[in-house]
Amino acid sequence: MQFRRLGNSGLKVSALGLGTNAFGKRADQETSMQIIHHALDNGINFIDTANIYAQSESERIIGLALAGKRHEVVLATKAGLVRGPGPNERGSSRYHLQQELENSLRRLKTDYVDLYQIHTFDPDTPLEETLRALDDMVRSGKVRYIGASNYAAWELMKALGISERLGLNRFVSTQISYSLADRTPEQELVPLCLDQGVGIIPYFPLAGGILTGKYSSPDAAPPGSRADTDPNFSRFLSEDKIALGRRVEQLAGEAGCSPSALSLAWLIQQPVVSTVIVGATRVEQVAANLMSLSVNMAPDHLKEMDSISESFRYGAPFALYRLP
């Protein structure tokens, strides 16, 4: 396994991380625990979840799976998106974050979270309030590092500036949609993160399965695919993305690997990326994703992949989660 620093921090994370959005939803408890154990056995030390995944079932299952193994894991969770109908059941106020952290710790069966992330920017809460609350959490020992997610470049830079001015712990990472099918972070966020020492943690690194080559058209969802099990996912399917998936599949054949391994290898090689979180609903998917670490990408293939995905640097992001 390859390990990198999480941004400019001293924390080392596996180049490939485990995303757990499907745990308790598209993967049952037993399967989810098997996936976690297989990931740990193969060197993955970064596990990412959130308080809202599968209505909190993801955190609960992770807590069960990590019994006796907590010390092996860099455990990351998030808060800030909508938890309920109440006025304080969303956002990044001190009130909401402290409540959600305690709930997450209880479900995860741990005394601390290694990386606590704000799930999205909250326009209704002053950043000073959010950052002071996070700093208090770090000083209390319940959180070790803090990160952002779904922040625009200006929002992230404002947060970093406030932390610098007030002498607070600063964000060491940010999560964003980033893949061959979504290179929009390269316009502003990537240069900012390289300059400020913030590690990027891509989500949707395979564009929800589009970059595996499994989709042949926007209207044909293979059995068991995300578009099949989650009809809302069809909004992400478009002719240009599916054409990209087919081109990646062709290049993967030339490189002697799977399309998913090639797509992940391209992302892992980006200098701003600290770890790539990839979800799984079967143990076999974890094993397949691990193959990306052994892909020897020739310079010509890297250049070709940059070329075929150049158009995806522009336009709207593949995915972006914000407060309503």
Residue 180 near residue 248 (C-beta atoms within 8 A): yes
Backbone angles phi, psi at 135, to 5 degrees: -60, -40
Residue 312 near residue 184 (C-beta atoms within 8 A): yes
Domain residues of the chain, as ranges? 3-209+264-295
CA distance 251 to 302: 10
CATH architecture assigned to 3-209+264-295: Alpha-Beta Barrel (3.20)
Q: Is the pLDDT of residue 222 over 80?
A: no
Q: Is the pLDDT of residue 101 over 70?
A: yes
Active-site annotation holder among 53, 116, 203, 215 = 53
Query: Which residues have C-beta within 8 Å of that of residue 318, sequence separation ≥ 6?
Result: 177, 179, 181, 182, 184, 204, 207, 236
CA distance 229 to 208: 12
Q: Is the pLDDT of residue 227 over 60?
A: no
Q: What pLDDT does residue 236 have?
A: 73
Q: What pLDDT does residue 228 have?
A: 52
> Mean pLDDT, to the nearest integer, of 270-285?
96
Lowest mean pLDDT among 144-153, 160-169, 216-225: 216-225
Could you read off the pLDDT of 108-156 as tens digits, one per residue? 999 999 999 999 999 999 999 999 999 999 999 999 999 999 999 999 9
Output Rg (C-alpha) for the chain, integer angstroms: 19
CA distance 278 to 276: 6
Look at the pTM and tell me if it is higher than 0.85: yes
Looking at per-residue confidence, does 218 or 138 come out higher?
138
Q: What pLDDT does residue 220 have?
A: 62
Q: Is the pLDDT of residue 99 over 60?
A: yes
> Mean pLDDT, to the nearest integer, of 19-30?
96
Backbone angles phi, psi at 2, to 5 degrees: -90, 145
CA distance 136 to 205: 32
Q: Is the pLDDT of residue 226 over 70?
A: no
Amino acid at the residue 14: S
> Mean pLDDT, to the nearest integer, of 84-113?
98
**What six digits make up the tokens of 172?**
């060491």
Q: Is the pLDDT of residue 301 over 60?
A: yes
> Mean pLDDT, to the nearest integer, of 200-216?
90
Q: Is the pLDDT of residue 229 over 60?
A: no
Burial 203-236 (b: 16+ CB within 10 A, else e): bbbbbbbbbbbbbeeeeebeeebbbeeeeebeeb
Q: Is the pLDDT of residue 42 over 80?
A: yes
Lowest mean pLDDT among 12-21, 213-222, 261-270: 213-222
> Mean pLDDT, to the nearest integer, of 33-37?
98
Name the DSSP class of 17: E
Q: Is the pLDDT of residue 302 over 70?
A: yes
CA distance 142 to 110: 9
Residue 53 annotated among the catalytic residues of the structure = yes
Name the DSSP class of 292: G
Could you read off the pLDDT of 63-89 as tens digits, one per residue? 999 999 999 999 999 999 999 999 999
User: Closest Cα partner for 20 from 321, 280, 228?
Assistant: 280
Residue 129 near residue 162 (C-beta atoms within 8 A): no
